[in-house]
Amino acid sequence: MRRITRCAAFVFSAVLLCSGAMCAQQMMQQQMQQRSDHLTPYDIFRLQYTSDPQVSPDGKRIVYVRTSANVMTDARETNLWVVNFDGTDDRALTDGHDNDTSPRWSPDGTRIAYLSGDEGHTQLYVRWMDSGQTARLTELENAPADISWSPDGKWVAFTSRVPIPGPRLANLPPAPAGARWADAPRMFDAMVYRFNGLGYLRPGTTQIFVIAADGGAPRQVSKGDVSYGSATGGGPQLVWAPDGMSLIFSANLRPDADYEPADTEVYEMSVADGAVKQLTHRHGPDNSPAISPDGKWIAYTGYDERFQGHQTTNLYVMGRDGSNPNGPVPGFAGTRIAAA
């Protein structure tokens, strides 16, 4: 969790670097702190914001994530709140320091699935909206993400990192009992092997799972050593087909994905056996797939990669089987979505 004081330090670093004017700077800061109409470093802890709004299936309520700052631990915290669609009855669904995120309504609107837990111990939970009772569904080594309900409300799909053995220069013998050996050397062969806030990344792949909404063991649907996401960017947005038999998603499954991470395609994966069908075939990103209610069409965004500083993202539609790709959306021919 990124420390709040780092933000405050960054905001005021330009002024604090002027060591020759420290006394004047301190006097100015004291004057600013005495005035309520000026932002001070301590105000960082008072800032709150909302994100990830999710409208209930009946359109009457919105559940969202509310982020605040804990001045005692110098860290951000997130909880779930719910508000009526007209803005009334805004109240907390969860409290505490467990960092609740990613609320998703069940298709019948009686439950929400969400992620909760301290950093490094995030798990998947379900909350019944009428009683407030909760149940933990997973106990995974690596946190789940990208949760999505099946159309019948019986399953929840998600992604999670699966560890794999990293490269080794040699197989070292185990240390004798009580011996104090130096830490074993770490070797990396991935282009991105460490990241700000995460440190050195453990070797692994992002895989797709499903779990029964009433509990049980999660089942890995995706097969093979290919990664369906990254350690830094997470996994794909999972979209269930209306019949609940497959998942639609965007991912870069190229063997050299690290060299062109934006070259994604739209895929369909069978929930029964993990069979994957590639639906788009072009050089460039194809993202954010959405399937029509009758399951016959898939809309998505993307563009043909020309390696320019800015390219406009277009809105496309294709048949469920990938036929007629890049065709115009009926009634929206020529429509463009402004995006870099």
The residue extents of the domains of the chain are 1-47, 48-136, 141-167+185-340
Of 144 and 224, the structure prediction assigns the larger pLDDT to: 144
pLDDT tens for 316-334 read 999 999 998 766 555 554 4
**Can you tell me the mean pLDDT for 107-116?**
97
* pLDDT band (50, 70, 90) for residue 130: very high
Contact (CB, 8 A) for 334 and 290: no
> Is pLDDT of 289 > 50?
yes
The reported pLDDT for the residue numbered 210 is 98
- Least confident range from 33-37, 53-57, 199-203, 225-229: namely 33-37
> Is pLDDT of 274 > 50?
yes
Average pLDDT across the chain, whole number: 86
pLDDT tens for 222-259 read 998 889 988 777 789 999 999 999 999 999 999 888 88
The reported pLDDT for the residue numbered 190 is 85
The reported pLDDT for the residue numbered 19 is 47
> Is pLDDT of 150 > 50?
yes
* pLDDT band (50, 70, 90) for residue 33: low
Terminus-to-terminus CA distance in the chain, angstroms? Answer: 28
> Is pLDDT of 80 > 50?
yes
Of 118 and 52, the structure prediction assigns the larger pLDDT to: 52
* pLDDT band (50, 70, 90) for residue 28: low
- In CATH, what class is 141-167+185-340? mainly beta
The reported pLDDT for the residue numbered 35 is 62
> Is pLDDT of 91 > 50?
yes
pLDDT tens for 182-236 read 888 888 888 888 988 888 888 899 999 999 999 999 999 999 888 998 877 778 9
Contact (CB, 8 A) for 258 and 170: no
The reported pLDDT for the residue numbered 165 is 87
Nearest to 221 by CA among 160, 162, 268, 269: 269
* pLDDT band (50, 70, 90) for residue 335: very low
The reported pLDDT for the residue numbered 68 is 92
Cα angle at 326 between 323 and 331, to 5 degrees?
A: 105
Compute the distance between CA of residue 260 and CA of residue 267 in angstroms, rounded to an integer.
18
Of 330 and 144, the structure prediction assigns the larger pLDDT to: 144
- Least confident range from 13-22, 212-221, 278-287, 294-303: namely 13-22
Of 72 and 57, the structure prediction assigns the larger pLDDT to: 57
* pLDDT band (50, 70, 90) for residue 31: low
